[in-house]
């Protein structure tokens, strides 16, 4: 039986990781896809702040996210992670299940302060 070289072991591990990553990314997208493969649009007042979310046509800044979130009319940059969770520039280290949850988390974190647009 031939010995397993470091190169073959690393290649096998990379292939396994890529397969597992693609399966994990596909599963949450299917379960969180009520309308044409993406999260639902929303428009509500949360703790006195108007939060809105909708699919965007621009594709987003990261990985073609294609979803826009606004707080009081100012864009909150959001990104969907490979595992299907969402993060924003306000709560980058606290992933949540939906863009709506990201907007609500940002409102809580802002504590009444205005959201300043990113350049």
Question: By the 8 A CB rule, do 68 and 79 touch?
Answer: no
* Residues 69-112 pLDDT 10s: 999 999 999 999 999 999 999 988 999 999 999 999 999 999 99
Both tokens of 68, joined, read 């826009």
* Residues 94-103 pLDDT 10s: 999 999 999 9
CATH superfamily of 42-110: protein ne1242 domain like (3.30.1880.10)
- Residue 66: its pLDDT value, please? 86
Number of C-beta neighbours around residue 55 at 10 A: 17
* Residues 15-26 pLDDT 10s: 656 655 555 544
Both tokens of 40, joined, read 């639902």
- Residue 38: its pLDDT value, please? 84
- This prediction has a pTM of 0.65
User: Residue 76 pairs with which residues in a beta bridge?
Assistant: 69
């Amino acid at each position: 039986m031939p010995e397993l070289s470091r190169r073959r072991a690393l290649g096998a591990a990379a292939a396994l990781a890529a397969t597992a990553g693609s399966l994990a990314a596909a599963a949450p997208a299917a379960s969180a896809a009520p309308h044409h493969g993406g999260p639902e649009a929303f428009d509500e007042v949360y703790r006195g702040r108007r939060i809105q979310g909708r699919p965007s046509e621009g594709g987003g800044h990261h990985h073609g996210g294609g979803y826009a979130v606004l707080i009081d009319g100012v864009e909150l940059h959001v990104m969907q992670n490979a595992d299907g969770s969402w993060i924003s520039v306000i709560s980058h280290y606290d992933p949540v299940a939906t863009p709506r949850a990201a907007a609500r988390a940002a409102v809580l974190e802002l504590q009444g302060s205005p959201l300043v647009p990113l350049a």
